[in-house]
Structure 1
Amino acid sequence: MIKSGLLLCALGLTTSGLAIAQIGPLGIFVGHGDVGEVQQAGSVHYDPEAQVYFLEGSGANVWGRQDAFHFVWRRLQGAFALHARGQFLGPGVDPHRKMGWMVRASLEPDAPYVDVVVHGDGLAALQFRRVAGGPTEEMRFALSGPDVLQLERRGDTYIAAVARFGEPLISQTLTGLALGDTVYVGLFICAHNDTVLERAVFDNVRIVVPAPEGWVPYRDYLGSLLEVLDVQTGRRKILHVSSGSLQAPNWTPDGQALIYNQDGLLYRFELATQAATVIPTGFANQNNNDHVLSFDGRWLGLSHHAAEHGGQSIIYVVPTEGGVPRQVTPTGPSYLHGWSPDGRYLVYTALRQGDYDIYRIPVEGGPEERLTDAPGLDDGPEYSPDGQYIYFNSVRSGTMQIWRMRPDGSGLEQLTEDAFNNWFPHLSPDGRWVLFLSYLPDVDPSDHPFYRPVYLRMMPAEGGKPRVVAYLYGGQGTLNVNSWAPDSRHAAFVSNTDVYKP
């Protein structure tokens, strides 16, 4: 039985409709304690500033017909996906010490459960007990020593996935495991030696409640997490939680704020105060997530669905602090993605003569210039900070991949060529790195939908093997615009989840 009491974590709504997580002592979890008989009591410490969990626990094992370990948990119903990065602290005593995610029918020591677990010697597995008091079974991964751990539930099906940070996930699927609709979900640690306490640390801890069956894109929306990522360490931090669809943060060049869109309006989110205010854009109140800041931070380009143009997306510019928008593109649909470093040109994706290509137009207005003409979708154009290249994504090779070209459309180079569908390349301010969004191969190459498992990946500006810097649930609205911080080390993005269920 669990030995320590319940600690509550309240998730409240403000009058503005923003679901601000009033995180308690256990972060997103609500209880913790030792399951089964242990000689030394375990503990949990949550660091709210770093958003990191430290677990300490003893216990003889999580195996056989009953278990003994330390567990921090919350109750969930229905479908969900659990994401975290974890590692043991210290050399440890027993090579079979364990830590990871667990989903459990109850807190009894012999309860049915499933976990994704890493042992002290690097062994990774999906382990499970089908019935109370029954034997433990396992499905081992070929990969040793992963630190990225995920566990997803779809009905009575569980999908465990692991990776070494920077690499894609590999997965195993277990079907027919009935744990009941309401389960205990959380992180655990077991020393595999009841005379000692072992420790582990977990960061990037996320519980995702995904889009339900029957949801309708662009009508039904999940909640949003506004996050900041350190691309060197992979450490993520949630800045803001919204019950609505918050999308596509820009980072202002002065480093003081993020600009995102929500419900057709643009908001400025002050990093110092974490307060969001509407940027006044006059009649342009149907703005999508293709908005761009000029390199000097003085101007904001908008993609507004103008009623006088049949609801098509038209590009406008407005001072960053707001004002009356000035129309730039004469027709639509036109979706803005880039501003030239000298401030003279905008680059965008536009549908003309039945095909989406990349165009350039003077900021002051004038004739648009077509830069690509390959069949299929070309999208996401963005200038490099030195103005020497325009980076973009194109389906011309059969899958969506990252390309670059000279500003006049010459000198085409393909920079990625892999199994993923890669979108929206963004150049770091120092010009060294490209950050982009990668969909799994099961997504149509010409589509960038909401609410899918996706990666954020990064590679050198001249190309090279990309590495994963974030594993998340998102897609449309996650990284449509350049969101690099001025320090070229941090970037902002949006991930998605429904409101946590009790």
Structure 2
Amino acid sequence: MTPRADRQDTAQQEKFRHRTHRAGQRSQVWVAGPDLSSPHLLFETDEILIEAPNWTRDGRHLVVNGEGAAWTLDVHHPEQGLERIVLDPPVSLNNDHVLSPDGEHLYLSATDTHIYRAALTGGPVTQLTPNDGKRHFLHGVSPDGRRLAYVQIDDFSRPGALAILNPDHTVTVLDTGSGHLDGPEWSPDGSWIYFNTEAFTTTPGHAQIARLPDGGGPLQRLTTSSTVDWFPHLSPDGRWASYIVFPSGTTGHPADLPVEIRLVSVDDWDQPVQSYSLFGGQGSLNVNSWSPDSARIAYVAYPIES
């Protein structure tokens, strides 16, 4: 059994550093969907290790992070490569970023463990989280754009908490039980918050997908599996969801493992309508990567040439 403090120290190190490719490794951006017979390789690079794609509201670009910066990729002309979003000051990003519902702003988790907002076109950056001595890891923005959902960590020897940053800059912490959680994200209608949690087990690291009502309430378990299930993301139309599956016994969401991306109907989370095996994990599906029309997702694989 790995002590929680050791597991959380490892998670802390992953949050605070910029990943780079291993020898022979590259980043591949794939596009797939519930009605697509097979995934499509959109873009690959061995120059920058990129993570966490999400779609712009107009469906024309993906936003990714790499080397501590945010980048855009033209979906229709990926051969043009990555274009950097220039921020002022140049905040050093970790792997979590989400777009505002109006498509005009980017919310960013930084390696200093604060959350920031900037225009999607770049420019001035505003710190949003309080200087409260806690660590703040972004994952969701409410459908009305007024609140942020994030994981709040006092210290890495204890589980993270589900925190909501309100419009008046106060913070509400919701009760999700004693297990560590990650990836909180609202449903498109704003009535639920989805996340992965260890609340249903005493086995270290055995995360499952769950949800609770917006504002708090009893947890509803959505997956019951022997695998370690992380980062649920609902499609904009509310019909589909994606999540990433780590091998049984995995603690945290590490990089460079054989994993699986699953697409499911929101009516049955344990029966995938599509599944994709890949070498990846951390960075592959950290943020909501559904296209605006709910037809496609994007994810990142990190193959290594032998």
The 3-state SS of whatever aligns with 1:335 is strand
Q: TM-score, normalised by structure 1?
A: 0.53
Q: Tell me how far apart the structure 1 counterparts of residues 294 and 57 of structure 2 sit (CA, whole Å).
A: 11
The 3-state SS of whatever aligns with 2:101 is coil
Give the structure with higher Rg (CA). 1
Q: Which runs of 5+ in 1 are unaligned?
A: 1-215, 307-312
CA drift at 1:458: 2.2
Indicate yes or no: 2:253 matched with 1:454.
Answer: no
- What is residue 237 of structure 1 aligned with on the other side? 40
The 3-state SS of whatever aligns with 1:289 is strand
428, 436, 445: which is aligned to 2:243?
436
The 3-state SS of whatever aligns with 1:355 is coil
CA drift at 1:374: 1.9
- What is residue 220 of structure 2 aligned with on the other side? 413
Aligned residue runs from structure 1 range 248-267, under 5 A: 248-267=52-71
474 and 379 in structure 1: CA distance in 2 versus 1, 3 angstrom threshold: same
- What is residue 473 of structure 1 aligned with on the other side? 279
Aligned residue runs from structure 1 range 12-27, under 5 A: none
Q: Which amino acid aligns with 1:349?
A: V
Aligned residue runs from structure 1 range 50-199, under 5 A: none
Q: Which amino acid aligns with 1:408?
A: G
Q: Tell me how far apart the structure 2 counterparts of residues 219 and 271 of structure 1 sit (CA, whole Å).
A: 23
Q: How many residues align?
A: 276
449 and 423 in structure 1: CA distance in 2 versus 1, 3 angstrom threshold: same
The 3-state SS of whatever aligns with 1:484 is coil
**1:154-213 Cα deviation digits (max 9, x unpaired):** xxxxxxxxxxxxxxxxxxxxxxxxxxxxxxxxxxxxxxxxxxxxxxxxxxxxxxxxxxxx
The 3-state SS of whatever aligns with 2:114 is strand
Q: Tell which deviates more after alignment, 368-377 or 434-443.
A: 368-377
130, 135, 145: which is aligned to 1:330?
130
100, 111, 116: which is aligned to 1:316?
116
219 and 268 in structure 1: CA distance in 2 versus 1, 3 angstrom threshold: closer
The 3-state SS of whatever aligns with 1:448 is coil
Indicate yes or no: 2:94 matched with 1:288.
Answer: yes
359, 369, 372: which is aligned to 2:172?
369
Q: Tell me how far apart the structure 1 counterparts of residues 90 and 217 of structure 2 sit (CA, whole Å).
A: 34
Indicate yes or no: 2:103 matched with 1:297.
Answer: yes
Q: Which has the higher helix share?
A: 2
Q: Which has the higher contact order (CA 8 A, sep 6+)?
A: 2
- What is residue 270 of structure 1 aligned with on the other side? 74
CA drift at 1:397: 1.2
The 3-state SS of whatever aligns with 2:96 is coil
Alignment check: 8 A CA contact 2:186 2:193 kept: yes
Alignment check: 8 A CA contact 2:197 2:207 kept: yes
- What is residue 295 of structure 2 aligned with on the other side? 489
Q: Which runs of 5+ in 2 are unaligned?
A: 1-16
342 and 217 in structure 1: CA distance in 2 versus 1, 3 angstrom threshold: closer
CA drift at 1:460: 2.3
- What is residue 155 of structure 1 aligned with on the other side? none
Alignment check: 8 A CA contact 1:231 1:469 kept: no
Q: Which amino acid aligns with 1:338?
A: G
Q: TM-score, normalised by structure 2?
A: 0.85
CA drift at 1:443: 1.4
Q: Which amino acid aligns with 2:183?
A: G
